[in-house]
């Protein structure tokens, strides 16, 4: 089917992969596409849990990078080496943004912008 992205054998970047949704997504990717390689970047903020992926931390094809999506330099390097990007990174528990909005702006807006700009620059696929 034209336009369909083949994930088997793909180099996949997942942001926010230590959160509930991101970690379950990674586990499902490896289950459905065992030939893919996954780089997981996560800032280890509230909602991140390394135990979510403890069972695959030494799996061939899995790489973990601690990093913030608003770190433009790091994101550009990571996006440049992948085929496709899945973005699950965000500051969660937005009720906290009322008292301290800057971390939410930096991650949820500027971090997403950083990812999108890197994808555009290196002509990658965003899902």
Which fold does the domain 11-126 belong to in CATH?
A: Rossmann fold (3.40.50)
Q: pTM of this prediction? A: 0.91
Q: What is the pLDDT along the chain (127 residues), one digit of tens a residue?
A: 456 778 999 999 999 999 999 999 999 999 999 999 999 999 998 889 999 999 999 999 999 999 999 999 999 999 999 999 999 998 887 777 788 888 888 889 999 999 999 999 999 987 7
The residues, ordered by sequence, that sit 6+ positions from 98 with a Cβ below 8 Å of its Cβ are none
Give domain limits for the chain.
11-126
Residue 1 is predicted with a pLDDT of: 42
The conformational region for residue 22 under phi > 0 = left, psi -120 to 50 = alpha, else beta, is: alpha
Which pLDDT belongs to residue 45?
A: 87
Q: How far apart (Å, rounded) are the C-alpha atoms in residues 1 and 48? A: 36
């Amino acid at each position: 089917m034209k336009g369909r992205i083949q994930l088997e054998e793909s180099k996949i970047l997942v942001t926010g992969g230590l959160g509930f949704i991101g970690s379950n997504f990674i586990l499902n990717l490896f289950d459905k596409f065992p030939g893919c390689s996954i780089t997981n970047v996560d800032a280890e903020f509230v909602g991140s849990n390394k135990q979510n992926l403890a069972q695959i931390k030494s799996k061939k094809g899995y790489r973990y990078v601690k990093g913030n999506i608003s770190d433009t330099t790091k994101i550009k390097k990571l996006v440049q080496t992948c085929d496709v990007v899945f973005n699950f990174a965000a500051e969660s528990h937005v009720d906290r943004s009322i008292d301290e909005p800057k971390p939410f702006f930096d991650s949820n807006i500027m971090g997403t912008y950083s990812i999108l700009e890197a994808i555009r620059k290196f002509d990658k696929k965003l899902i």
